[in-house]
Amino acid sequence: MVNTDTWETLQEELSKKNITLVAVSKTKPVSDILELYNLGQREFGENYVQELVEKQPQLPSDIHWHYIGHLQGNKVKYIAPFVHLIHAVDSFKLLVEINKQALKNNRIIDVLLQMHIANEETKFGLDEKEIIQLLDYYEAQKEALKNIRICGLMGMATNTENETQIHSEYFRLHNFFKFVSDTSFFNKPFFSICSMGMSADYKIAVEEGSSMVRIGSILFGNR
């Protein structure tokens, strides 16, 4: 069951602040996606390649598909023809592969780098040092990497009730996002996305400066 009232409230609240709402539709049927589409939602997020590739052709072509999960290099080719934004790039190797597949499809693919902010081993991502190192490699090989565009950072906070901890994790992500946009991407207005916040913690993420939230269960019900 889709919570259309929640969607309306969220959409109104977020659009006032210029925050993009990505509706995370993983495991949910095409009919649920269409229900939100018909209300005006265009940004949808998925995190399984197989599932996304099955759903995409069944749905309107003006949907912006966000790939928000951990992406394996050998699967990039399946989503490269249509994906709008890849949120969780966590290695230079993956960046090179996305560029290669984007070139094959004659397009430029927008990506975010995933930063590890959670106090959990299980969440993927890079720390500040590793991101700076990746950006150094990128800078050195920029000419060969014309088919990708790094548009910002993404992160997931620890799954905890401790709001102080969530605040500090999102603060760290947003702070580093500002640093990178003032240094490596100075005067590059496309570097503008700080993707943080899910159903349980998006209010905190918004307070800490999120520009894009990824929300599933409060819109589509529990998975």
Nearer to ligand PLP, 24 or 145 (CB): 24
In the complex, minimum distance from the CB of residue 220 to ligand PLP, in angstroms, rounded to a whole number: 8
217 binds ligand PLP (CB under 6 A): yes
Among 156, 190, 159, smallest CA distance to 45 is for 156
2, 24, 63, 145: which one contacts ligand PLP (CB under 6 A)?
A: 24
Give the tokens for residue 119: 């106090």
Secondary structure of 106-148 in the HEC alphabet? CCCEEEEEEEECCCCCCCCCECHHHHHHHHHHHHHCHHHCCCE
* Residues in binding contact with ligand PLP, number by CB under 6 A: 13
Nearer to ligand PLP, 10 or 150 (CB): 10
Cβ contact 155:193 at 8 Å = no
Q: Output the residue with the shortest Cβ distance to ligand PLP.
A: 216
Q: Taking contact as CB under 6 A, which single stretch among the options 76-84, 138-146, 180-188, 196-204 is the one that binds ligand PLP?
A: 196-204
In the complex, minimum distance from the CB of residue 39 to ligand PLP, in angstroms, rounded to a whole number: 18
Nearer to ligand PLP, 165 or 199 (CB): 199
Return the ∠ at Cα 88 (arms to 194 and 207), rounded to 5°: 25
26 binds ligand PLP (CB under 6 A): yes
Contact positions with ligand PLP (CB under 6 A) in 47-106: 47, 68-69
10, 148, 180, 198: which one contacts ligand PLP (CB under 6 A)?
A: 198
Residues 6+ away with beta carbon under 8 Å from 202: 210, 213, 215
125, 152, 155, 216: which one contacts ligand PLP (CB under 6 A)?
A: 216
Strand partners of residue 85: 66, 110
CA distance 152 to 23: 19
Helix axes 30-39, 4-16, angle to 10 degrees: 50
Binding stretches for ligand PLP (CB under 6 A):
24, 26, 47, 68-69, 156, 198-200, 214-217
